[in-house]
């Protein structure tokens, strides 16, 4: 004991001591600096941690002590990167081989430069500010970080949001979790750097101040010009009318809607808010519209928000801007059809700031121990994402079957219904791998038991065996929600691992008479283990590990719809780690960890697949995909998924999907389907419904997760339309093509793990120097070859496509060549999505299949597109296990030389059990002088390959 005490004392003497302002110390890979003249509410101490030559962590503290918190998102990092520290008169310079960080000794302002001395990013003057915050007795800081941003900069990431923003430069985005909204604290620049901030609290990107009610920003006048508010007209379906003055429009959550006329019936009603708004300064004003039901907004007699719709129980938010002049009254009109017994409507605006200020890169975080961010430099945007995954974890190689088609609906109500649906796919020769069991497979009053209702699912093992015999896979919904009467609730609660506020407040859900329940605390490690054990006991091990995938719904967590922020925090806290104010956004990450670690502890060599409605930084590490939640069956929602999915992928999490066709259905589509079921007639609404689903499936075939899901009408293709209908034909065509592309798709999943690749790619990722792609919202790259151009409007039969200038392009279907650097109006017939292939691409196509591993691709049709040099790496492994982690996989490199028209097929590298030792490649050349329509029966140059290098002259 004395020896230990003595050693500890000596060690303490050896620790760095801060004896004067402006000093710095270096210890290991840390450099700590005290400020000479800290600004008011600014950092007093800064610590830089060199992670590697391209990544530097920055911690800043309001006080003298920088916390040593355990991160939820950052994995343990090696610390062996060489770097130098040089102290100048005014700054401390930390230098690696690729990156330099200058830190001002005066106020801590940091500038990041590349190895050539070019500025990548610089904190703004007074760019770090702090305010103390105490919640539930725990101290922390609210912080704001501000960075200068060049005018030519474009910014991407932040997760998945629904306002159809692609480039976040100069934009605002609130970062919290919500059904259809997934927030990730990561932003990436076209200048090839990224910022990842280690905060789990509510954050804001852009202006740090929240949107304010209209009367806080503008002078309001009613429709007759009287000051004080807008005129609100409420017209009930039976003709009853209420008119009153509205001091603002703020009916956005279950508390605020109490300020609506309480005697008014909103189902079938019409509401109009009108009058005038007057700005106190000339500026571009930024608005956010909260809505459920149907809504339109007019400003100055211009339609600034065309009709939008969301189901009444799941409102959405939409952002728009409008230029206004000081002192000028302009008319405003909001037309709202609530479309529900309870509905929501709100319009707010930001206090305008200068364009220079708005264009800065701004991050605000509500509560953390200190400011903590990682600066990630790269040679490309792919390289930046690689750095992000070094910090937060590798993305796994997904099971091969996960790339096949997923059929889902809300919901299959019995084992017979589920099996008969899958069997019908097989009978119709429609490819499918996966079918999904949504919620309420349990008894009505048994939510959280994870047990099948024995009346509707009498023999679950037999159901699973029958499905597997048809070469199907099964995913089941498991919520983190428990009724208080269940054994699982009581077991978790006995350890203090249940959130109690919902039970205290007697919040009853929408099932049957309404039942009491709540969610478990996923921030408690013991709770995560118990949650998995309950799933394992009642589902996984009970049914011989035959459940293939897990659907983790409502993982925000969403304990009650449409609540205000303070009450949301009360419902999901306090957590085992601290107040929910601090631990607000990372629930889905912790929940995913529970399932991933749990399954691998039981079946360590069976690949895990999770689908979750929410997510966070690091989610990819747990073999988890995210889908975009309960979106609407609307064209604007389909368009919004394009930017939502792209920015989510560019947030470092590569596997994403959506409810193809939309989840929440407008009544007009329901009525149209009911009419067809009675009469066999396709009315105008049914024609639009079918075209919406066709267009959405055309787009959905080119995202990482190809999955259809939604409420009634039923979403199986034969329920959407007869086999002779163009809707059916289009869906069947792209489903078949998806399976032909399996060698291409599965190779990309290998690259995701081994190369940190991103499958669904904003155009900027491949064409960084082309400013015309910065803001493209409806074109993207799917892998290295395909430029996908979805059709997002009803009856659109042509659309504009920009062809980036860096290369030439081929129409996938016809083989027609398009020179780069031009915008063309291209055909978009009902049954075809405009799809183009980059010159220099090499694309492997496999055989027709009914499921992902039906046939080994002994013959691969290899399409080679002339016009540039190109390469492709074919990746293969055993498809369902983790043997790839042990080196059991194989790759074949293809390289094309455009000058010599020569394709080189390299020696195969690696091997795995069941590998094809011998195969054939049918090499098909597509060129400007050799227009070649896509046809897998095309006779090309056929070569036999046994793993040794081949040279093929085309």
Q: Which two tokens stand for residue 108?
A: 């801590």
Whether residue 373 contacts residue 144, with contact meaning beta carbons closer than 8 Å, is answered with no
Whole-angstrom distance, CA of residue 61 vs CA of residue 434 = 50
Is there a catalytic annotation at residue 553?
yes
Active-site pick, 49, 253, 553, 716? 553
Q: Is 81 exposed, middle or buried (0-12, 13-18, 19+ CB in 10 A)?
A: middle
Active-site pick, 556, 716, 756, 766? 556
Spatial CB neighbours of 541, under 8 Å, sequence gap ≥ 6: 602
Grouping H, G, I as helix, E, B as strand and the rest as coil, residue 65 is coil
Cis upstream peptide for 846 (omega within 30°):
no
Contacts within 8 Å (CB) and 24+ apart, 305-311: 306/636, 308/634, 308/636, 309/339, 309/632, 309/634, 309/666, 310/632, 310/664, 311/339, 311/340, 311/630, 311/632, 311/664
One-letter-per-residue 3-state SS of 706-755:
EEECCCCCCCCHHHHCCCCCHHHHHHHHHHHHHHHCHHHHHHHHHHHHHC
Grouping H, G, I as helix, E, B as strand and the rest as coil, residue 687 is helix
Q: How far are the Cα atoms of 412, 437, 472, 509, 608 from residue 452, in angstroms, in the given order?
A: 13, 11, 20, 20, 22
Whole-angstrom distance, CA of residue 479 vs CA of residue 844 = 39
Please name which of 838, 866, 844, 841 lies closest in space to residue 945, comparing C-alpha atoms.
844
**Cα 267-271-277 angle, rounded to 5 deg:** 155
Whether residue 142 contacts residue 133, with contact meaning beta carbons closer than 8 Å, is answered with yes
Beta bridge partners of 632: 664
Is there a catalytic annotation at residue 630?
yes
Q: What DSSP string runs through 865-890?
A: E-SS-EEEEEEE--SSSSGGGGT-EE
Rg of the chain on CA atoms, in Å: 29
Active-site pick, 630, 636, 698, 878? 630
Spatial CB neighbours of 639, under 8 Å, sequence gap ≥ 6: 164, 777, 778, 792
Beta strands in 280-370 (DSSP E): 283-291, 293-299, 302-310, 316-324, 329-337, 345-349, 361-368
Beta bridge partners of 157: 187
Which 8-state DSSP code applies to residue 852?
Answer: T
Whole-angstrom distance, CA of residue 223 vs CA of residue 205 = 36
* Residue ranges in 161-275 assigned as alpha helix (H): 214-217
* Residue ranges in 575-634 assigned as alpha helix (H): 587-602
The number of beta carbons lying within 10 Å of the beta carbon of residue 341 is 11
Is there a catalytic annotation at residue 556?
yes
What is the dihedral angle through the alpha carbons of 702, 706, 710, 712, rounded to the nearest 10 degrees?
90
Dihedral sign computed on CA atoms, order 212, 216, 217, 221: positive
Which 8-state DSSP code applies to residue 505?
Answer: T
Count of alpha carbons within 13 angstroms of residue 662, beta-carbon side: 27
Whole-angstrom distance, CA of residue 285 vs CA of residue 348 = 10
Q: Indicate which residues carry an active-site annotation.
A: 553, 556, 630
């Amino acid at each position: 004991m004395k020896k230990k005490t003595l050693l500890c004392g000596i060690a303490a003497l050896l620790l760095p001591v801060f004896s004067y302002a402006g000093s710095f110390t270096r210890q290991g890979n840390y450099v700590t600096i005290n400020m000479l003249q800290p600004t008011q509410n600014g950092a007093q101490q800064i610590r830089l941690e060199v992670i590697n030559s391209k990544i530097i962590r920055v911690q800043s503290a309001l006080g003298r002590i920088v916390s040593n918190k355990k991160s939820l998102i950052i994995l343990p990092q090696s610390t062996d990167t060489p770097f130098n520290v040089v102290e100048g008169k005014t700054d401390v310079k930390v230098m690696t081989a690729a990156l330099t960080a200058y830190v001002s000794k005066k106020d801590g302002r940091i500038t990041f430069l590349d190895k050539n001395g070019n500025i990548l990013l610089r904190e703004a003057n007074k760019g770090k500010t702090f305010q103390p915050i105490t919640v539930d007795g725990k101290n922390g800081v609210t912080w704001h970080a501000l960075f200068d941003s060049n005018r030519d900069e474009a910014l991407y990431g932040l997760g998945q949001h629904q306002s159809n923003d692609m480039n976040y430069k100069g934009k605002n985005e609130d970062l919290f979790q919500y059904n259809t909204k997934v927030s990730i604290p990561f932003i990436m620049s076209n200048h090839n750097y990224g910022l990842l901030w280690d905060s789990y609290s509510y954050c804001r990107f852009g202006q740090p101040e929240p949107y304010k009610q209209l009367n806080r920003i503008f002078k309001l006048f009613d429709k007759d010009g009287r000051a004080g508010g807008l005129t609100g007209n409420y017209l009930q379906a039976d003709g009853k009318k209420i008119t009153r003055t509205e001091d603002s429009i703020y009916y956005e959550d279950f508390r605020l809607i109490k300020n609506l006329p309480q005697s008014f019936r909103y189902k079938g009603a019409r509401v109009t808010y009108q009058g005038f708004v007057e700005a106190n300064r000339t500026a571009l004003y930024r608005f956010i519209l909260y809505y459920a039901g149907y809504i339109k907004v007019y400003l100055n007699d211009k339609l600034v928000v065309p009709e939008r719709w969301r189901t009444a129980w799941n409102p959405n938010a939409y952002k728009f801007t409008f230029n206004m002049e000081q002192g000028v009254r302009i008319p405003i009109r909001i037309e709202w059809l609530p479309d529900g017994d309870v509905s929501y409507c709100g319009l707010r605006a930001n206090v305008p700031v200068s364009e220079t200020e708005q264009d800065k890169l701004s991050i605000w975080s509500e509560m953390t121990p200190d400011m903590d961010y990682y600066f990630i430099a790269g040679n490309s945007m792919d390289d930046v994402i690689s750095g992000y995954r070094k910090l937060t974890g590798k993305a796994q190689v997904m099971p091969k079957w996960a790339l096949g088609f997923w059929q889902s609906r809300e919901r299959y109500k019995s084992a017979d219904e589920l099996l008969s649906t899958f069997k019908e796919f097989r009978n119709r020769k429609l490819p499918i791998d996966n079918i999904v069991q949504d919620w309420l497979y349990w008894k009505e009053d048994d939510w959280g038991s994870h047990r099948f209702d024995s009346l509707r699912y009498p023999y679950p093992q037999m159901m699973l065996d029958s499905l597997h015999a048809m070469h199907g896979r099964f995913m089941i919904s498991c919520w983190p929600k428990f009724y208080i009467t269940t054994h699982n609730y009581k077991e978790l609660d006995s350890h203090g691992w249940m959130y109690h506020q919902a039970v205290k407040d007697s919040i009853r859900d929408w099932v049957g008479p309404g039942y009491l329940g709540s969610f478990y605390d996923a921030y408690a490690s013991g709770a995560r283990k118990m949650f998995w054990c309950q799933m394992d006991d009642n589902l996984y091990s009970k049914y011989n590990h035959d459940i293939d995938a897990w659907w983790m719904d409502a993982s925000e967590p969403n304990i009650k719809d449409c609540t205000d922020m303070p009450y949301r925090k009360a419902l999901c806290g306090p957590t085992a780690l601290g107040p929910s104010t601090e631990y607000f956004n990372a629930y889905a990450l912790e929940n995913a960890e529970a399932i991933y670690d749990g399954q691998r502890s039981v079946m360590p060599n069976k690949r895990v697949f999770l689908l979750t409605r929410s997510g966070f930084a690091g989610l990819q590490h747990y073999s988890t995909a995210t889908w975009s939640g309960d979106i609407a069956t609307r064209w604007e929602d389909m368009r919004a998924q394009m930017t939502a999915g792209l920015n989510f992928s560019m947030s470092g999490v590569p596997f994403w999907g959506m409810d193809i066709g939309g989840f929440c259905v407008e009544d007009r589509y329901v009525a149209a389907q009911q009419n067809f079921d009675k009469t066999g007639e396709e009315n105008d609404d049914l024609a639009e419904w079918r075209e919406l689903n066709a267009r959405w499936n055309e787009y959905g075939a080119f995202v990482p997760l190809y999955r259809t899901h939604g409420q009634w009408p039923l979403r199986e293709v034969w329920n959407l339309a007869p086999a002779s209908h163009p809707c059916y034909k289009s869906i069947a065509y792209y489903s078949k093509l998806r399976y032909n592309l399996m060698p291409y798709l599965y190779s990309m999943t290998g690259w995701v793990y081994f190369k940190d690749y991103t499958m669904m790619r904003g155009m900027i990722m491949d064409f960084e120097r082309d400013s015309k792609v910065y803001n493209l919202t409806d074109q993207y790259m799917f892998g290295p070859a395909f430029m996908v151009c979805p059709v997002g409007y009803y009856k659109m039969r042509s659309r504009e496509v920009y062809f980036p200038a860096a290369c030439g392009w081929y129409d996938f279907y016809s083989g027609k060549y398009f020179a780069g650097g031009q915008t063309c109006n291209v055909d978009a017939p009902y049954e075809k999505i405009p799809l183009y292939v980059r010159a220099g691409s090499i694309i492997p196509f496999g055989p027709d299949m009914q499921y992902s591993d039906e046939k080994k691709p002994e013959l691969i049709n290899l399409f080679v597109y002339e016009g540039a040099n190109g390469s492709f790496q074919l990746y293969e492994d055993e498809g369902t296990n983790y043997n790839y982690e042990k080196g059991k996989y194989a790759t074949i490199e293809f390289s094309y030389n455009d000058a010599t028209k020569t394709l080189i097929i390299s020696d195969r590298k690696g091997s795995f059990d069941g590998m094809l030792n011998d195969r054939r490649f049918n090499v098909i050349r597509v060129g400007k002088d050799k227009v070649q329509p896509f046809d897998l029966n095309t006779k090309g140059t056929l070569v036999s390959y046994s793993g040794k290098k081949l040279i093929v002259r085309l």
